[in-house]
Amino acid sequence: MKPNNEFYNRINRAGFDNADDYDPDFSRFEDVRMNAYDPDMADAPPAQGTTKVNAARAGQKMNINITIDNPSTVKITFELFSAMNNWTTQIKRDLVSSAMSGAGYTLIPALSTEGLGTVGVGTVGYDQEGDLNVYGAALANPATIGCGEYPYNSLVESTKVLPFRCTVASFAVETQGQLNNQLLHFTRTFAGGYTENRINVRAYKRPTQFQNLEVDTLAPFDITAETGLRYALEVGETVQISMFITKWAKPSL
């Protein structure tokens, strides 16, 4: 088999980048070229750090599919990602409406002291499949968030160190009324900063579109340890969000 010369050339360039300007006394330990052995990152810009940014290339899978299901009798606002501070780690009282509270949806984190004292009623937590379950007064049929490619629990945790950029989010819904709900992208920092951007899903529906219950939003957003999404689902609604990714962080070897 003919060797892939370009692959070996990348290895050599990566090794050279790693050795370039090496300082034995580690006084320049912040030099990002100290860790550049990954052949895919040879000749990479020097400002990418130990965890490199990888751009999507032809032949690579570049999307994840999130499915949100609300089988309850009340409208529920779901919180996605926000790995450092989401509704599984801290109670989010602003997400509980009077109707939800009346139906037993108190959104208590399942692993909190209060959550451990219950048997799922009113709690938010992950099941054995890695899906997020939101329980109301009755234990049957919790509202859920799942991922088709990876356990949703692991996907959320991974964004603490491996963020990604979504440029197109494709929404597949079951009812026209669901398209009226906006997608909220927010950033909440550990220092107390907060910003948000609302994406009007219906605004991206084209008049000539034949798929009446599918919409591609073209508002890009980043998912990091401090950013997340909020999206409300109507009663009995199921929504699939396909996130097409153009950049994601990649750990170095």
CB 229 within 8 A of CB 241: no
- The number of beta carbons lying within 10 Å of the beta carbon of residue 105 is 25
**Any domain includes 164:** yes
Please provide residue 235's backbone torsions phi and psi, each rounded to the nearest 5 degrees: -60, 130
Q: Find the length of the chain.
A: 253
User: Going by C-beta distance under 8 Å and a sequence separation of 6 or more, which residues neighbour residue 219?
Assistant: 169, 197, 199, 204
pLDDT in tens, 155-200: 999 999 899 999 999 999 999 999 999 999 999 998 999 999 999 9
Give per-residue pLDDT as tens, 118-166.
Answer: 888 999 999 999 999 999 998 778 999 999 999 999 999 999 989 999 9
> What band does 32 get if pLDDT is binned at 50, 70 and 90?
very low
Structural contact between residues 64 and 147, judged by C-beta atoms closer than 8 angstroms: yes
212: in domain: yes
Domain count, the chain: 2
Q: In this structure, are 173 and 212 located in the same domain?
A: yes
Query: Is residue 236 left, alpha or beta, with left meaning phi > 0 and alpha meaning psi from -120 to 50?
Result: left
Residue 200, in any domain of the structure: yes
Residue 123 and residue 152 in one domain: yes
Calculate ∠ Cα 34-40-45, nearest 5°.
55
Amino acid at 16: F
Whether residue 55 is contained in a domain is answered as no
Q: Indicate whether 96 belongs to any domain.
A: yes
CA distance 79 to 185: 10
| Domain limits for position 24 | 5-49
pLDDT for residue 33? 41
Are 82 and 196 members of one domain? yes
Task: Judge whether 76 and 52 are in contact, CB under 8 Å.
Answer: no
Q: Do 25 and 75 reside in the same domain of the chain?
A: no
The predicted pLDDT at position 252 comes to 53
100 with 14, same domain: the answer is no
Task: Give residue 70's identity as a one-letter amino acid code.
Answer: N
